[in-house]
Amino acid sequence: MQAVPRHPLIDDYLDRLAAAAQPLGPRRAGELMDDIREHLTEALPGPDVDGADVRRVLDRLGEPHDVVAAAWDDDGMTARETVLPALRPDLSRGGEPWRFVTAVALLVAAQLLAPLWLVSVPMWIAGLILFATVTGWTARERALGWVFLGGGFPMGLLFTIAVALPFAMTSQVCTALPDGTQQCTGSTASDWGAAAILIVFALFFVGQIVTVVALVRARRRG
C-alpha cells in the first residue's frame, strides 16, 4: 500500500481515529484504519499536500468518533438511543465503557465506605487499577482524575477522622464569676472547624463532579 501523505493534520486525525477505533477490536479497527488510509491516499495524491486540501478532505471524512460510531451503530452493537448517552463517547475513545463506569463507581464507593477498611481498600485499589487502564485522555485530564477520583478514598478517610474528632479546643475566654459560675465569651473552635471541614469537602465534591464531566467531554471530543 502506498504511504499515506504526511501532514500533521493527517497524523493527528489517524491518531485520534486509532484511539477511537480501539474498542472495535484489533481486526475491525485495523480494517477501518486501512480503509481510511486508502481514502486519504486517493484523495490526496502526491507526497506534497496542501494544508487547505487536507482540511477539506478531513472535514468531508467526518470526526473520528462519528466514523467509529457508525461502525457501532451499523452492527447494532449499540444504538444512539441506549442508556447513558453522555457516556456513549467512551465507546469511541480509549477503552470499553464499562472500565470507565466501573472505575468511577468503585472509587466513589470506596470514598463513601472509607471507614470500612476491609471493603473500601480493595475497592479503591481495584478502582485505581481500572482507571489506569482507561486510555484516551490527555495528561492533564488524567491528572484531574487521579486527584479528584483517586483522591476520593483518602478524602473519605480524612472526613471520617475529622468528624470523629472532638473539637475540644476552643477559642472561648472563660471567666470565673464571684458566685462560682463561669462566663464564657467567643465561639467554640468546633463551629469554625466543622465549617472549614464542610467547605473543604464540599469543594472537593464539586471538583469530583467537574472532573467526571470533563473526562466524559474529553472522550466526546474523540
Closest contact distance (angstroms) between CB of 25 and other proteins is: 12
Cβ proximity to other proteins, 57 vs 109, nearer residue: 57
The distance of closest approach from Cβ of residue 39 to other proteins in the complex, given in angstroms and rounded to an integer, is 5
24 φ, ψ to 5°? -70, -15
> Which residues does residue 173 pair with via DSSP β-bridges, in sequence order?
185
Footprint of other proteins on this chain (CB under 8 A)?
1-2, 28, 31-32, 35-36, 38-39, 41-43, 45, 60-64, 66-68, 70-71, 74-75
Query: Taking a C-beta distance cutoff of 8 angstroms, is the pair 215, 100 a contact?
Result: yes
Closest approach, Cβ 94 to other proteins, in A, equals 19
Give the span between the Cα atoms of 167 and 222, in whole angstroms: 49
What the block records as the C-alpha cell of 124 is 479503591
Cβ nearer to other proteins, comparing 58 with 155: 58
- Helix extents (H) in the chain: 8-21, 26-43, 51-61, 64-75, 97-112, 117-133, 139-145, 152-164, 189-221
CB of 54 to other proteins, least distance (A): 14
| Phi, psi (deg, nearest 5) at residue 114 | -50, -40
Count Cβ atoms within 10 A of the Cβ of residue 105 and give its class: 0-12 exposed, 13-18 middle, 19 or more buried: middle
* Residue with Cβ nearer other proteins (64 or 150): 64
Q: How far is the CB of 218 from other proteins (least distance, A)?
A: 21
Nearer to other proteins, 2 or 183 (CB): 2
Nearer to other proteins, 60 or 182 (CB): 60
